[in-house]
Amino acid sequence: MAQLEADSPFDPDSFDAPVVGIRALHRDHDSGVHQHNRGQLLFTQQGSARITLDNQLCLLPPMRAAWIPAGVKHRAVIQQAAEYRSVYLDRALSLPLGNEVRVIEVSSLLRAVLESMTQAPYDTDWSLGKYAHLLALFLIEIAEAPRQPTILPLPQDKRLAPLLAHLELLPPNLQTLVTRVGASGKTIGRIFLRETGMGYQQWRQQWRLLRCVELLATGHSLDCCAFELGFSNDSVLIAFFKSLTGTTPRNYFKKSVGFDQGL
């Protein structure tokens, strides 16, 4: 079993095998900014992780996975505790999965495949027997998995630095932001549309969704989330959540191991 201890150094690029899988449990962990020569599928079985990229913020909820292409600089921060599985693919295997970071649903089949792959020895021959079949299923499942709306594009314009410096706080309404950054509402709207593909209000709603998922995944109640995110009550929050995800918070977290927040 490729079980990685919390404080153990690990370099996936140091192995010769085309596939390397690990299992780990981290608490309050910060990976720092780094990159691999391999593509990485990071799956949080329990807990959540916040992945920061050059121009994106990616939230990885429990029972979902993030595809991080080879060569992409990223930083993963785990609050509280997260049990995860990670599979690293060499560039040849990574190429068909694309060069875009995305968060995906994890089917029961993909979860079972991940469990087997991350228990395989580092020197496994992935071209033979059951391992060849596992790898083939792994690649198909990732390519066909539905995406999750838990990525927030970040504007790069320097005028918005005060906003991005406090991404853990509810972004202000547009008029307040105008006052803070010294740019007109139209200018701010143009910046967001050009650099994120969203208007400011849509971007702010996307931030609320990511923060809501993060708070719920780390043990906060619906009432607490509604208060922090500026909703009048939890019913309004549930309606908002369903409008963006197609499901309620209860159902969204239903598959999560050990998750019970009385939703």
Instruction: Please determine whether the domains at 3-144 and 154-252 fall in the same fold group of CATH.
Output: no
pLDDT at 239 over 80: yes
Mean pLDDT of the chain: 90
Q: What pLDDT, in 10s, does the model give residues 168-181?
A: 889 999 999 999 88
Residue 102 is predicted with a pLDDT of 95
User: Per-residue pLDDT averaged across 68-89, rounded?
Assistant: 90
pLDDT at 2 over 60: no
**CATH architecture of residue range(s) 154-252:** Orthogonal Bundle (1.10)
Most confident stretch, 43-47, 160-164, 239-243: 239-243
Residue 204 is predicted with a pLDDT of 96
**Secondary structure of the chain in HEC code, one letter for each residue:** CCEECCCCCCCHHHCCCCEEEEEEEEEEEECCCECCCCEEEEEEEECCEEEECCCEEEEECCCEEEEECCCCCEEEEEEEEEEEEEEEECHHHHHHHCCCCEEEECCHHHHHHHHHHCCCCCCCCCCCHHHHHHHHHHHHHHHHCCECCCEEECCCCHHHHHHHCCCCCCCCCHHHHHHHHCCCHHHHHHHHHHHHCCCHHHHHHHHHHHHHHHHHHCCCCHHHHHHHCCCCCHHHHHHHHHHHHCCCHHHHCCCCCCCCCCC
pLDDT at 262 over 60: no
Q: How confident is the model at residue 166 (pLDDT cuts 50, 70, 90)?
A: confident
Residue 1 is predicted with a pLDDT of 45
pLDDT at 195 over 90: yes
Rounded percentage of the chain residues whose pLDDT exceeds 70: 94
Domain chopping of the chain, boundaries: 3-144, 154-252
Residue 168 is predicted with a pLDDT of 84
CATH number for the domain running over 3-144: 2.60.120.280
User: Per-residue pLDDT averaged across 215-243, rounded?
Assistant: 94
Rounded percentage of the chain residues whose pLDDT exceeds 90: 76
Range name among 39-48, 74-83, 111-120, 171-180 with the lowest pLDDT average: 74-83
User: Per-residue pLDDT averaged across 180-202, rounded?
Assistant: 95
pTM (2 decimals)? Answer: 0.87
